[in-house]
Amino acid sequence: MATIDSDEAPQAADARSQLAASRRDSDITSRLQKARSLTIELLREITDDFSDERKIGQGAYGKVYVGQLENGEDIAVKILHNNMPGNDDAQFMREFENLMRLDHDNIVRLVGYCYETQHEPMQYLGRTIFIEKTYRALCFEFLENGSLQKHLSDESNGLDWNTRYKIIKGAWEGLKHLHQGFDEPIYHLDLKPDNILLDNNMLPKLADFGMSKLFNDQQTMITESPIGTFGYLPIEFLHGKIVSSKLYIFSLGVVMIKTIGGPEAHSRSVEMSHEEFLDLVHANWRNRMKTACAYGTLEAYCEQVKICTEIALSCMDIDRHKRPNIVDIIDQLNDTETMINTVIQGLVMVADEWRLGESRSGHRKPRNC
Ligand SMILES: Nc1ncnc2c1ncn2[C@@H]1O[C@H](COP(=O)(O)OP(=O)(O)O)[C@@H](O)[C@H]1O
Ligand SMILES: [Mg+2]
């Protein structure tokens, strides 16, 4: 991978990355001691020998099964494909190492791992030989609601606005932790709805760190490695193989637009002007929320829809320099929450005053909310 756009002197960059590596080593060492090693025998047992009934997902790098540990905890077992030794190992190590470092509400928790080599007998040219077989599996907390992909729908049905907002906010919080929680940010590089999982409260958790890498924050890279998924990659990567923090801002922008408006929302947003798209999404949500919203809060929620849609569109700007940064995005989202809370508090105060008036005068006054 080549580095471009870096203002840092090479010696300073080397020193910085050595320091970061030694901090990382001590950080990971303590966590490695806590990692639980699970045998392939145990994983076979709890997944009924990796049966189809227990299969909950399949991605490019492995199949995922649900099983229950002896303490009653459900876990998701991702058993990696076993066909290309070098590649499989790199994939496994990247996901394992990065997940080991992560501890955040919006990032899937690694429960344990299996890395086991067995020698299995087989018949070859009339002789019995032993072949080496390596099993690699990563075990995560099981997230009952599966991937966000399963829940995407347009504005007229499916998840309500508050749930969609919670997913959007949590996904950005998870990304912020990857970006700011360490000396060297972790670049996820494959953000898409299949890789965002939902717990029983619909709290989102970023998952699938198989392509994730550590980078110096200042850098923009050119890479020939295959990364990401078509549809979630920005033009500078498709045309110039450029990777920077603005790549995953774009990817999460696409996820965000699909969370707001459903699986077709990204293509719809490309086909119309930004104003037309904003008006359409806004009108659709106003229509859905007008009966569900508590009295007096509709305008505030519609404003939140509008701001979220604008953020998503700006994340997908063709010019990567014009895309917002994570901190600004989270600040903007926080502002919408403050706005809604202020409206709700105002309504509660008005309601309290009326109630007080009612009890003093002894008769009922008409209520507005
Ligand atoms: N912890 C989990 N809880 C519930 N479902 C999961 C979990 N991990 C993965 N899955 C399911 O399996 C699918 C593939 O998992 P993922 O980690 O993305 O593998 P891959 O690297 O092969 O894409 C996910 O999209 C999801 O549907
Ligand atoms: Mg995946």
Q: 260 near 336, Cβ under 8 Å?
A: no
Distance 264 CA to ligand 1 centre (A): 22
Residues forming the active site: 190
Q: 365 near 354, Cβ under 8 Å?
A: yes
- pLDDT at residue 368 greater than cutoff 50: no
pLDDT band for position 326 (50/70/90)?
A: very high
State the pLDDT at residue 85: 54
CA separation for the pair 183, 20 (Å, rounded): 6
State the pLDDT at residue 55: 97
Q: Mean pLDDT over residues 6-19, rounded?
A: 67
> Angle at the Cα of 177 (from 31 to 265), degrees rounded to 5?
130
- pLDDT at residue 20 greater than cutoff 80: no
Q: 224 near 242, Cβ under 8 Å?
A: no
Lookup result for tokens 């009653």: 72
Averaged pLDDT of the chain: 89
- pLDDT at residue 250 greater than cutoff 50: yes
Closest residue by Cα to residue 285 from 301, 264, 296: 301
pLDDT tens-place string over residues 254-272: 999 999 999 999 999 999 9
Q: Mean pLDDT over residues 20-41, rounded?
A: 77
Q: Which CATH class is domain 26-141?
A: alpha beta
**What CA–CA distances, in Å, run from 62 to 91, 103, 185?**
10, 23, 25
Closest residue by Cα to residue 157 from 11, 352, 5, 292: 292
State the pLDDT at residue 175: 97
Which residue of 206, 208, 232 sits with most ligand 1 atoms within 8 Å of its CB, as the best mutation to test the pocket? 208
Q: Which ligand is nearest to the CA of 191?
A: 2
- pLDDT at residue 64 greater than cutoff 50: yes
Q: Where does residue 222 rank: exposed (0-12), middle (13-18), buried (19+ CB within 10 A)?
A: middle
Homologous superfamily (CATH) of 148-349 is Transferase(Phosphotransferase) domain 1 (1.10.510.10)
Q: Mean pLDDT over residues 160-168, rounded?
A: 98
- pLDDT at residue 141 greater than cutoff 50: yes
Answer whether 65 contacts ligand 1 (Cβ < 6 A): no
Q: 131 near 107, Cβ under 8 Å?
A: no
Distance 322 CA to ligand 1 centre (A): 32
pTM summary value? 0.88
Q: Where are the domains of the chain?
A: 26-141, 148-349
